[in-house]
Amino acid sequence: MLERYESLKKEIQALESLIVAFSGGVDSSLLLKAAHDALGEKALGITVTTPYMAEREIKEAIAFAKEIGARHEVLSFPWIPTLKENPTNRCYLCKHALFSSLKKLAYQRGFAHIAEGSNLDDTKEERPGRIALQELGIATPLLSLGLSKNEIRQISKELSLKSWNRPSYACLLTRFPHNRPLLEEEIEMVEQAEEFLISLGYGRVRVRFHEELAKIELEPKMMERLISSQEERTKVTLFLRTLGFSHVALDIAGYKDEALHQGISCKPKRS
């Protein structure tokens, strides 16, 4: 697979100078590595922090960039006002705002292009955010080469990148039903719940927010582990209740990478 990596570097070399939108996930990690190898100081990774991005992901991004020696900066981005209502086109609104800001930054810094880590698998499902990327002319080298998620993981593994087996990331807004006003304290509840489960070794996990109900999604083996251990079920339940959830449930459908289905509705919490 390393010949595919060489093709990726050639694709990036043609861009001359590049800002990589770097989340720290498996896709953007390979992209930043290739950009660094191909362009050196003419490549810059930018990690944008928002109120709905998990702190753990920021730390992983910083550590990865430092490990490979890539130029890297972390920029804070405030709430996009229209996102607080959590509309069905939230991903489009977010991507358009973030990448518009990155385009301005690229112009100010003298970078010719901006790239992000979309891959072939992303074209197989509806991704409103991709429309924003196309409108803004954002480069997608992994997608241009037709690299799938599995191929990206395999290349990353062959390059000994620690990111190769990281779970797919998605912003914390995806844990909430659409068209429900968002509160920062509720986003923090979800983040802390997921961090607790990860600290217990559950790895790939989602905690979906349904008012007073926390719905946990785990992979099959991890579901079996939680179900079979009364001690861990009690530990998880008690911790999530301290966060403010009244009820804790396990989704028997299991872990899902995709965002919360749009068909689920949830009434706004009344004060």
Tens of pLDDT, residue by residue over 63-106, are 999 999 999 999 999 998 889 999 999 999 999 999 999 999 99
Fold entry, domain 2-165:
Rossmann fold (3.40.50)
- The residues with which 209 forms a beta bridge, in sequence order, are 214
pLDDT of residue 123: 87
Active site residues: 171
Question: Residue 149 has which token pair?
Answer: 């998620």
pLDDT of residue 262: 37
From residue 145, give the alpha-carbon distance in Å to each of 118, 187, 253: 11, 36, 33
Question: Residue 79 has which token pair?
Answer: 């709430």
pLDDT of residue 125: 76
pLDDT of residue 261: 39
Question: Residue 74 has which token pair?
Answer: 């972390």
Q: Report whether 246 contacts 213 (CB < 8 A).
A: yes
Is CATH 3.30.1340 correct for 172-250? yes
pLDDT of residue 1: 83
Query: Strand pairing of 113-115 and 205-210?
Result: unpaired
pLDDT of residue 264: 38
Q: Report whether 99 contacts 132 (CB < 8 A).
A: yes
Other beta carbons within 10 angstroms of residue 252's beta carbon come to 9
Cα–Cα distance between 235 and 147 in angstroms, integer? Answer: 41
pLDDT of residue 128: 82
Q: Report whether 16 contacts 41 (CB < 8 A).
A: no
Using only C-alpha atoms, the chain has a radius of gyration, in whole angstroms, of 19
Domain ranges across the chain: 2-165, 172-250
Cα–Cα distance between 20 and 8 in angstroms, integer? Answer: 14
Other beta carbons within 10 angstroms of residue 52's beta carbon come to 23
No. of H helices and E strands in the chain? 10, 7
pLDDT of residue 77: 92
Tell me which residues of the chain have a pLDDT lower than 50: 259-271
